[in-house]
Amino acid sequence: MSEQNDYIIEFRNITKKFPGVIANNDISLGIRQGEIFALLGENGAGKSTLMSILFGMYEPDQGEIYLRGEKVKIKSPNQAAELSIGMVHQHFMLVENFTITENIVLGLEPEKKVFGFPVVDIKGTDQKIKDLSHKYGLDVNPTDLIEDINVSTRQRVEILKMLYREAEILIFDEPTAMLTPQEIEFLLNIIKNLQADGKTIILISHKLYEIKQVADRCAILRHGELIDILDVKTTSTQEMANLMVGKQLSLSLDKSESKPGDPVLEVENLTLDNELGVEIVHNVSFKIHAGEIFSLAGVSGNGQMEIADAIAGLINVKSGKISLNQKEITHATVKERIESGISYIPEDRQRFGLILEMPLAVNLALKSYYKEPFSQKHILQENVFLEYSDNLIKQFDIRSGQGSTTIVRSMSGGNQQKAIVAREIDLDSDLLIFVQPTRGLDIGAIQAVRKRMIDERDRGKAILLVSLELDEIMSCSDRIGVIYNGRIQTVAKADQITREEIGEAMMGVGNHGK
Amino acid sequence: MLNNIIIDGLSFALPLLIIAIGGIYSERSGITNLALEGLLGFGAFCGGLFMAFFSSHFAAANVPVYLSLLIASIGGTIYAALFATLCIVFKANQVISGVVINILSVALTGFLTRQINQNFFNQPSDKFQIGVFPRTSIPVLKDIPVLGGFFNNFYLFEVIILILLAITWYLLYKTRFGMHLRACGDNPQSVDAAGIDVNKVRFKAVLISGALSGIGGMCFAYSISANFSPTIYMGAGFLAIAALIFGNWRIMPTFVACLIFGFARSAGNEIGKAMQLSSSFFDLTMTLPYVLTLLLLIFFSDTNRAPRALGEIYDKGKR
């Protein structure tokens, strides 16, 4: 207790229960002034709950919080802000049709007088925001509208919001879940700049390498319990992973040599426009054989998502040809494609993969409900849905509150993804398209999804994997195509290309004149 | 004839505008407002009732027409409070609440007008006499060819509406309150996170929409019939909604839309007269503003963007 004075925040015996779950069980930990403190744990381990308590969104059932040595009761986010605590949420809180400056000052607008009338002074504040942005290397243009800027810039606006409110303790909730590798580097640098300026930073994450890269200390939570507090520099990522999951977890995948068969998917000279009518994919050709995983690597926005959408039939083909098992499907409807053997695991699982307000059983039958035995003489057979769903739940280990009747919205991200994977695999299609299949999932779920993908390959399926994560590409693929600016730069067998070579191709290096 | 088109067009367009601005306030804060028709009717009823009582007690010479606008505006505000309570406090569906408010207003004001006429003025009538609103012309300017019509024989309430236009524009785009209001219609969560009470802002916005609609309703009562009667419910509230949608939920473009509607209507009227149509065909030329509404709807609905959180009930817990 002698060192309690250098803690800026101290949690003492925090317990928080929700119906049926103990989210935090008797957690005590201290965070030092000026450090980067990471909270590591799988989804549902209680990280976000603990931080929500600090930010005044929940009240703890038991326990106390000490801030700068004084006991505080934080009842609302506003009060947290007054105590100079700021939080960047996973879902940004920004007004789309306002400028960056307008968003930052919202709630604390500076005023000036024009002919004696109070007027919100936006122009005069732009420079102040610019200076603040420059100071921490945030690089935003204060007069841009939010609707015109990308995810990474939006996140930096959220950071500026906290800085404008002079927050000293900054909480980042899974800040890199939506970012590309370059953007992640950029953000981690910003976080280091903030630390250099004396801010205290709490980083909620389940990405080990980020924690390893920036954090000083790291607390590991599992099932609501504090497992350990570690010094990051002296702990290996493997140790952290084991503590987080609670069992020996192999970070590498067991994968045998692929035995490619006949080509299943053939894409020839595919050219696509994006939704604004700008040509985004130029003349792309590739083949995927049965029993192989072909992946498209690349930085976000280089056309890879559009290629996947075009194969699945979600966007129109401008020119070129797509064939499945030697049959042309370039202009087939989505339903025809599904029936001729394409499964699709979309990037945005909540918008394109699931109907969130409907029960799990319905979601699992979304692509087969109209066939026998689900539908008999145009009448849906509820018991068939439930039976089928119970079976998939068991087979794929999908966890949910009320089994087949659970409303999908209430399930965790990892289990939602497992449900989509289960549905798509059970269609028994020849081609499976996985787009960012492990985005936002925790390590356990990531391993499960990747293992399923490899199992399907071994069963002779052709698999297209589109991912922004190089680790995923390296550990799963048999062949890799690197896409840059709508063109495939290079195609190579996975064991014949290095990370560095892929990285260079992703940035368009070594691209002659094209 | 051109002179008449301008004079009648303006006297229709400006009351329509003030109602549409009322709608903009409500919708930019995120509350779908189909209740404009009911709000303007109830406001006009209150103003009409005030005038009826006043002229029965005092000499008709100094009827306080300006005060009647204020009373109508207060009436509209009170009635809007009912709408706001339904859809903000009780979180009722905004479309249904709006429709209910409209139906209730038609029935209630009709009923009350008859009862009050019978019991206080001893005459079975569904109208309140409200007198005439003063008109004026600006010398010299009114004699300019073509454009002179804008300065000729206009109602003084048109000037009041132009002043209100300036005030409401300033309030919506230049002040803290206006900024909070616009933010509520786009992303209420972010407003809440900034420590501002979303429901309070929205409640105020709906009250303002009632106040402005009340004034607009009273102006219509003066310009169309010189009395308050159920003919006030002629669809101006819905036309105002169409105008604010063409105006992309922004005040100045909505002003232009209202002028187009106003002139289309007065032109339809003049065309009908000039062609000496029988009354059954006359109605046909009077459909001009509505046909125009349909046509504009086809061209504009693509580029228009409603406030993102329009119609969304704000619930703190839901993210």
Domain boundaries, chain A: 7-245, 259-341+429-514
Size of interface A-B (CB pairs under 8 A): 56
Residue B227: closest CA among B44, B79, B95? B44
Interchain contact, A106 vs B175, CB within 8 Å:
no
Q: What percent of chain A has pLDDT over 70?
A: 96
Nearest residue on chain A to B171, alpha-carbon basis? A119
Cβ neighbours of B235 (radius 10 Å) = 11
Interchain contact, A95 vs B180, CB within 8 Å:
no
Helices (H), B136-250: 156-174, 176-186, 188-193, 198-220, 236-246
Contact criterion met (CB below 8 Å) for A184 and A176 = yes
Interchain contact, B189 vs A93, CB within 8 Å:
yes
Contact criterion met (CB below 8 Å) for A96 and B166 = no
| Average pLDDT, rounded, for chain A | 88
Residue type, B318: K
Interchain contact, B179 vs A118, CB within 8 Å:
no
Tens of pLDDT along chain B (319 residues) come to 788 889 999 999 999 999 999 999 999 999 999 999 999 999 999 999 998 888 877 765 566 888 999 999 999 999 999 999 999 999 999 999 999 999 999 999 999 999 999 988 888 888 888 888 888 888 888 888 878 888 888 999 999 999 999 999 999 999 999 999 999 999 998 898 888 999 999 999 999 999 999 999 999 999 887 888 888 898 899 999 999 998 999 999 999 999 998 998 888 888 888 888 777 777 777 787 778 778 877 877 777 788 999 988 887 654 3
The minimal CB distance from A106 to the residues B170, B190, B308 is found for B190
Lowest pLDDT segment from A186-195, A325-334, A409-418, B216-225: A409-418
- pLDDT at res. B110: 93
Residues 265-324 of A with CB under 8 A from B: none
CATH C-level class of A7-245 = alpha beta
The DSSP H or E segment spanning A177 is none
Q: How far apart are CA B314 and CA B94, in angstroms?
A: 12
Residue in the block written with tokens 């005069």: A124
Q: How far apart are CA B238 and CA A289, in angstroms?
A: 60
Contact criterion met (CB below 8 Å) for A471 and A237 = no
Contact criterion met (CB below 8 Å) for A331 and A317 = yes
At B134, phi and psi to the nearest 5?
-65, 145
- pLDDT at res. A276: 73
Q: How far apart are CA A254 and CA A239, in angstroms?
A: 20
The DSSP H or E segment spanning A37 is strand A36-40
Residue in the block written with tokens 């996947």: A308
- pLDDT at res. B289: 73
Contact criterion met (CB below 8 Å) for A449 and A441 = yes
**A469 min Cα distance to partner chain B (Å):** 28
A431-435 vs A462-467, strand pairing mode:
parallel
- pLDDT at res. A443: 77
Lowest pLDDT segment from A371-380, A408-417, B181-190: A408-417
Q: How far apart are CA B14 and CA B157, in angstroms?
A: 9
Residue A102 has pLDDT above 50, yes or no: yes
Q: How far apart are CA A265 and CA A323, in angstroms?
A: 6
Q: How far apart are CA A227 and CA A45, in angstroms?
A: 11
Interchain contact, B186 vs A96, CB within 8 Å:
yes
Token digits for A44? 């549902």
**Bigger pLDDT: A296 vs A240:** A296
pLDDT band, very low/low/confident/very high, at A95 (cuts 50, 70, 90): very high
The whole-number average pLDDT for the span A7-17 is: 92
Interchain contact, A98 vs B186, CB within 8 Å:
yes
At B41, phi and psi to the nearest 5?
-65, -45
Q: Residue A120: its chain B contacts at CB < 8 A?
A: 174-176, 179
Compute, in degrees rounded to 10, the torsion defined by CA atoms B177, B179, B183, B184.
20
Residue B157: closest CA among B217, B247, B210? B217
Q: For domain B2-134+146-300, say whether CATH 1.10.3470 is its number.
A: yes
Q: Residue A56: its chain B contacts at CB < 8 A?
A: none
Residue in the block written with tokens 């985004």: A280
Residue A133: closest CA among A106, A112, A161? A161
- pLDDT at res. A465: 95
Contact criterion met (CB below 8 Å) for A435 and A347 = yes
pTM, entire model:
0.77
Q: How far apart are CA A361 and CA A382, in angstroms?
A: 9
Lowest pLDDT segment from A99-103, A124-128, A440-444, B151-155: A440-444
The minimal CB distance from B175 to the residues A77, A94, A120 is found for A120
Residue A44 has pLDDT above 90, yes or no: no
Interchain contact, B193 vs A102, CB within 8 Å:
no
Token digits for A459? 């069963």
Token digits for B139? 């010398």
Lowest pLDDT segment from A1-5, A413-417, B70-74, B258-262: A1-5
Q: Is B276 left (phi over 0), alpha (psi -120 to 50) or beta?
A: left
- pLDDT at res. A289: 95
The minimal CB distance from B186 to the residues A91, A95, A117 is found for A95
Q: Which of B27, B29, B187, B319 to mutate to test the interface with A (most CBs of A within 10 A)?
A: B187
Q: Residue B175: its chain A contacts at CB < 8 A?
A: 118-120
Q: Residue B183: its chain A contacts at CB < 8 A?
A: 95, 98, 106
The whole-number average pLDDT for the span A25-44 is: 89
- pLDDT at res. B139: 87
Q: Is the dihedral of CA B277, B278, B282, B284 positive or negative?
A: negative
Token digits for A425? 């695999």
Residue type, B307: P
The DSSP H or E segment spanning A394 is helix A382-396
Q: Residue B176: its chain A contacts at CB < 8 A?
A: 109, 111, 118, 120
pLDDT band, very low/low/confident/very high, at A208 (cuts 50, 70, 90): confident
Cα of first residue to Cα of last residue in chain A, in angstroms, is 65
Interchain contact, A118 vs B308, CB within 8 Å:
no
The minimal CB distance from A120 to the residues B174, B193, B194 is found for B174
Q: Residue A77: its chain B contacts at CB < 8 A?
A: 193, 195
Contact criterion met (CB below 8 Å) for A489 and A505 = yes
A104 in contact with B, Cβ within 8 Å? no
Q: Residue A108: its chain B contacts at CB < 8 A?
A: 194
Q: Which residues fall within 8 angstroms of residue A469, CB to CB, at 6 or more apart?
A: A181, A438
Interchain contact, A102 vs B179, CB within 8 Å:
yes
- A355-381 burial: b if 16+ Cβ within 10 Å, else e: eeeebbbbbbbebbeeeeeebeeeeeb
Interface pTM (ipTM) of the complex? Answer: 0.85
- Helix A181-196 vs helix A151-164: angle between axes, to the nearest 10 degrees? 10
Q: For domain A259-341+429-514, say whether CATH 3.40.50.300 is its number.
A: yes
Token digits for B39? 């709000």
Compute, in degrees rounded to 10, the torsion defined by CA atoms A397, A417, A298, A189.
-100
> How does pLDDT run across A303-332, given as a tens digit for each residue?
899 999 999 999 999 999 999 999 999 999
Q: Partners of A390 in the beta sheet?
A: none
- pLDDT at res. B61: 58
